[in-house]
Structure 1
Amino acid sequence: MNPQDLNLVGAGAATSVGRGWHASCAAQRAGLAGFVAHPFAHDVLGQAVRVAPAAWLTWGTDAAARLAALLVDAVEEAFQPLAGPAPDLRCGLVLALPAPRPGLPLDLVEQTCAALRRGLEFRGLQAPPVLASLAQGHAAGFAALRAAAQALHDGRADACIVAGADSWLEPDTLAWLESCARLHGAGTLNDPWGRVPGEAGAALLLCTQRTCAQLRLPTLARLASVGLGSEPCTPAGQVCTGAGLTQALSGALAALPDRRRVDDVVCDMNGERDRANEFAFTALRVADRLRSASGFIAPADTWGDVGAASAPLCVAAAAMAGLKGYAAGPWVLVWGGSDGPLRGAALFERRPAGH
C-alpha cells in the first residue's frame, strides 16, 4: 500500500507521564518513568505489581470506562486543527483496541464506543462515526492506519482520526500476565525482563493532501506506507525468527526512496526477550535500509506497555521529534507486534512545522 497523499496534521495522547501530547512526549524524551506500585494487585511473592497508570483516573474504574476516558482526551486534542476552519468536514474514526483477554468484558468494543461518544458529547464535540473497531492488540493501530487510508482514498471521509487505547491494570489481567511469565518482577512466575503494564490513549488526525491545501492545515508528516504481517510462531516455547515482522517492515520500507535510509526507528519493544529476539532476526534482513538497527527508540521504558495504544502513540512521539527538531532526519519507521500473530509497521516522512 502506498498512500502518497495522506498527511498527519494532529495528534493527541494521554499516558502515565502526561495528560497531553506535548507533556507525554517531553517526559518520554527526558526518560521520566511513570511506574508505581499497584494499590491492591500483588504477585505470587506478595509484592505489589509495578504498573504505569494514568494518575487522574480512579483506581477500580472498569476497563471500558478507563479506555473511553483516555480516548476522549486524546481524540479531543488530535481534533484541534479542525476545531474552527471546517464545520462541514466529514471526519471518521477508526479505533484500535485490546484483543480479548482475561479481565476485559466480552462487549468491550461496544461499551468503549458508547462511553467515548458520551464523553465527547459532554465536552461539546460531535463524535465522529466509527468506521472500524479493530480489537487486535499492540499492532491494531497499524491495521487502523491502513483502514483509515482506505476510507480516505475511497472518499468515505475527508479526514480520519486513528485512535487507540488500552489498560492492563485489571487484577485478572495482571494475574494472567503473571501466569504467562510476562509480568516484570522477581517472583517465580515473573520475568525480570518482562513488561511493566501501563495504560494510555493516543490519536492521530489524517487528512488528504487536498483537504490540507483547502484548509491550509500545517503538516506534521506524510504517511508513506503501511505494512502488515502475520507471525506463525506465537505460542510460548516456539522459536520466532521474525517472519511476520519482516513481512510488515518490508512492506513499509518499500516506499523508502532508493539510496535512502530510515533515520529513526520507534517501536513497542517492552522489555520482553521474545520481542527483542524477534526484532534481532528481522533487523538482519532490513539492516541495509536503517541508519542504525540497534538505535531504536522504545517509549515503553517510560510509559509502560500500552498495548493497543502503542502504534498511534509511537507515531505521535515520532511526529513530536520532527516538530521540536530533535529527530535524526525526516524518515521514521514505526513498528509493533501484538501478542497474537499480527505485526505492523508504518513509514512516515516528517516535515518541519508549518509545512
Structure 2
Amino acid sequence: MSTTPPSSPAPPALRVLAIGAFTPVGGDARSTAAAVRAGLCGFREHAYMIDTAGEPMRVAQVAGVDADLRGAERLVALLTPALTEALAGILASAGAANATHDGRIGVAVAWPPTRPGGPDEATDAVRALCRDRLGARLGPLQLFASGHAGGFEALDQARAWLRAGQVDAVVVAGVDSYLAPETLEWLEAEEQLHGAGPLNNAWGFIPGEAAGALLLANAGAATSGGWADVLAVGLGRESKLNKSGEVCIGEGLTQALRRALDEVAGEGVIDNVVCDMNGEAYRADEYGFCGLRVRDRLRDPTDFLAPADCWGDVGAAGLPLHLLLAASAGRKGHAKGPLTLLWGSSDGGGRGAAVIRADVAVRA
C-alpha cells in the first residue's frame, strides 16, 4: 500500500474582472494590446538627454503626461488612467455584480525600487488617488517597491487577502518610469542603456514608462464578465545578480516558475509565455537555463512574447500589462491555447511567475 500523501488541491483561481493600461503605445487596455499585436514601436529620441557618444538617448515615453513631472507625481499621473479604467465598472454601477461594502476593495501596487532619480515609496500619494476613486470602499493598501517582480508580489498579496475573506475584490497595479534624467544617466553609467551607435551599448535596454491595473475577485464570486483566471503564483529569489560578476544560471527564476507550475500540475502543457526580457544578455541567459529545466511543462520554451521591443522596459508595470496581452490574445483567438506563463525578473533579485487561463474565442 502506497504511503505517498495525496497532493494538496490547487488553490482557488482568481477572476480578472477588468484591466486598465496606460503605455507608450496605447492610452487604454484595448489600444495597447492591439498596438503590441501589430508590432508598433513607441521608441523616440529624448527631447534633450544626450548620451556619452553624443547621440540622443532613445526612450519609450507615454503621451499626454507633463514632461516636467518627476518622482511620485509622475507615477501617480501614469497610474491614474489605468486605475480609472480598471475600476470603471465599479464606479459606474451599483448593481449586485459590482456592489462592494465599505473597506472591502484592497489595492496592491508594484512600485520602482530605490535608484538614482527614482521616486520615494509614496504610499500616501497612492492612497489619496485610490481614496479619490473608491471612497469608503477602499480597504487595505500595500506598495511593493521591488521593480519587475513587484507585480507578482502584489498578486500574491491579493490572493492572500481574497482567500482570507478580508476583501471582496483587489486592484493589482504596477507603475514605473525610467525617464528621469538622473535615472537615464545612471543606466548609462551601469552599461544598461541601449544605443545604436558604434560607441553605444547594443545589449542594453530602452527605458520606458507605463502603468497597468487589474481588478480581481475570487473566481466563484465573480458571476459574469472578465478576461481570464489567475491559476497560480510563484515567487523566488536570485543571489547571482546582474552586474555582480557571478554567472546566473536561473536558479531564482526556476524556483518561481516551478512553484507556479506545481500549482497547475493537472492543467497540462503551458501554451504561451509572456515575459520581461528586454535585450540584456543577463536576462536571456537566465531564462535559457531556466527554460531547460521546465521545458517539459511548456509547449515551446523558445517561443515567447517579450513586449519590451514595443514599449521599452516598463519595470514594475510589467505584470498587469503582460497579463493584458495574454488575455487579449485569448479573446481575439490568436493565442496558441488558453494557458499562459508570465514571469518577471528584478535587478534586486526578486523573481515572479504566474499562470493564467484566458477566455479563448471559439472560431468556426
Tell me the TM-score range normalised by the shorter chain.
over 0.9
1:112 and 1:267 map into 2 onto residues whose CA distance is 29
Per the alignment, residue 330 of structure 1 pairs with: 338
The Cα shift of 1:246 comes to 0.2
Per the alignment, residue 345 of structure 1 pairs with: 353
Contact 2:242/2:347 (8 A) holds in 1: no
**Aligned match of 2:111 in 80, 88, 97?**
97
Per the alignment, residue 126 of structure 2 pairs with: 113
Encode CA deviations 1:104-152: one digit per residue, 9 max, x unaligned.
24x33236415634xx73xx65373452110000010000000000001
Per the alignment, residue 190 of structure 2 pairs with: 180
Q: Which moved more, 1:48-57 or 1:186-195?
A: 186-195
Contact 2:219/2:229 (8 A) holds in 1: no
2:158 aligned with 1:145: no
Contact 1:41/1:48 (8 A) holds in 2: yes
Q: Compute the TM-score of the two structures, normalised by the length of structure 1.
A: 0.92
1:198 and 1:151 map into 2 onto residues whose CA distance is 31
Per the alignment, residue 266 of structure 1 pairs with: 274
Residues 125 and 249 (structure 1), Cα distance of their counterparts in 2 relative to 1, 3 Å cut = same
**Structure 2 unaligned regions, length at least 5:** 1-8
For residues 57-76 of structure 1, the aligned pairs below 5 Å read: 57-76=65-84
Contact 1:2/1:226 (8 A) holds in 2: no
Per the alignment, residue 162 of structure 1 pairs with: 172
Letter of the aligned partner of 1:133 in structure 2?
L
2:82 and 2:361 map into 1 onto residues whose CA distance is 20
1:189 and 1:152 map into 2 onto residues whose CA distance is 51
2:226 aligned with 1:219: yes
2:314 aligned with 1:315: no
Per the alignment, residue 88 of structure 1 pairs with: 100
The Cα shift of 1:238 comes to 1.3
The Cα shift of 1:244 comes to 0.2
Per the alignment, residue 78 of structure 1 pairs with: 86
Contact 1:92/1:160 (8 A) holds in 2: yes
The Cα shift of 1:188 comes to 8.1
Q: Match of 1:254, SS? A: helix
Contact 2:121/2:145 (8 A) holds in 1: no
Q: Compute the TM-score of the two structures, normalised by the length of structure 2.
A: 0.90
1:244 and 1:206 map into 2 onto residues whose CA distance is 27
For residues 46-65 of structure 1, the aligned pairs below 5 Å read: 46-65=54-73
**Structure 1 unaligned regions, length at least 5:** none
2:79 and 2:225 map into 1 onto residues whose CA distance is 23
Q: Match of 2:184, SS? A: helix
Residues 219 and 55 (structure 1), Cα distance of their counterparts in 2 relative to 1, 3 Å cut = closer
2:313 aligned with 1:301: no
Q: Match of 1:210, SS? A: coil
- The total of aligned residue pairs comes to 346
Q: Which moved more, 1:294-303 or 1:64-73?
A: 64-73
Q: Match of 2:19, SS? A: strand
Q: Which moved more, 1:150-159 or 1:55-64?
A: 55-64
1:209 and 1:260 map into 2 onto residues whose CA distance is 20
RMSD (Å) for aligned C-alpha atoms:
2.0
1:116 and 1:195 map into 2 onto residues whose CA distance is 31
**Aligned match of 2:216 in 180, 184, 206?**
206
Contact 1:219/1:353 (8 A) holds in 2: no
1:163 and 1:194 map into 2 onto residues whose CA distance is 26
Larger radius of gyration: 2
